[in-house]
Structure 1
Amino acid sequence: MNTLIVTAHPDHASLTSGVARRLAEALPPDTVEVADLAAEGFDPRFGMVDRAAYRGHGETPADVVREQERIDRADHLVLAFPVYWWSMPALMKGWIDRVFVNGWAFEVAPEGGTRRQLGRLTVHLIAVAGDSAGTYARHGYETAMRTQIEHGIVDYVGARRGATVVVHESERDDADARDALVEEAVDTVTRAVVGEASRAS
């Protein structure tokens, strides 16, 4: 089982980037690829070339094809991101806007309806949040975020929902408590990936 970890944070020393590295180290060797969108300079802007390709009137941009090929090599996709305004950063959202497009992630059928084309893929989420679990529960933030991403994106393209974990209170001063939350998140996703690999074999 191959895993693609996609992260989007401008600071390589951030907790989000650290979570992605720790997950990569926890998974079996030679099964992981990490896509650091900020470090790689991915352009998240959905422009006219993207629109033409989406509508079937032009070639898919080369940088988008490269990202699709990365996903095609994977059985598991992990999105590791800091929570900005109760969702993923614009960089990661733009990656999804440009990469998960008509003709590859899904296809609008001429007779009507949508063919969902990523059924072979399992998607996991690791969200790094500043607020507490109680705050998220009280205001419905986690439910809203999961509905938007799990139902609005993962389900729409026919992928399977994997583990979703939120690392709360990421900016707390207690480094030991923060590290324990990170370790729990990494363990949860690792078990989900390795467990599916065991079932498949």
Structure 2
Amino acid sequence: MRRYLFPAILGIVGCAILIWLGLWQLDRMAWKHGMLDDIRQGIQDDPVPLPDQIDPSMKYLPVTVTGTTTGQEIDVLSQMRDQGAGYQVVSRFVTDDGRAILLDRGFIPQEARHLDRKPTRLRVTGNLHWPADVSSSTPAPNLDENIWFSRNVDAMAKHLDTLPVLVVASYVQGDAQGVMPMPVTVEGIPDNHLSYAIQWFMIAATWAVMTLALIWRIRQRSY
């Protein structure tokens, strides 16, 4: 029996760790679903006027802003379901109380990119947002062509001389100039915990089978 002890202990401990990791991922999944429900609720709450003091802790806060675009914009490479590739228009927007902010007005197809979008007065309902679009592989913006590959609030605010505040439009009153709102959703937030849990459980099952196979081989050699 002594020859079976070490592989048995190794198998039991390994399976226990792998199963624990799977259960931990299930706990993380429950936490993530609760967080997503809170975000959805926050997105759908009644909008409020743009606060005087704004910081990233207010992410997803529904707001209503009234003001005028200045004609200055950033075109962010994007795509929209049923529309294909195009751009998200991020405009410099001056509110009625004199604050210059970033307004993500929504999507335009490629052929509409060079249309002249002159200053226009808008009343916008949307959400404050600090998107996590930038990664280590994101190219730097092509400033000569005014094509950006991600929404970086600080960099866009510096480029358009605004406060580092981005409102993503969900509903626009006024001349939208052909720009289709792309409201904030939770679709882009990763939720892979179930697949991770399944992977850990499958590894645990494989570990158990390999342990039994090892014990069986030791047993065969003993005859």
TM-score range, shorter chain: under 0.3
Q: Which has the higher strand share?
A: 2
TM-score (norm 2): 0.21
Bigger relative contact order, structure 1 or 2, given CA contacts below 8 A and separation 6+?
2
TM-score (norm 1): 0.23
Q: Which has the higher helix share?
A: 1
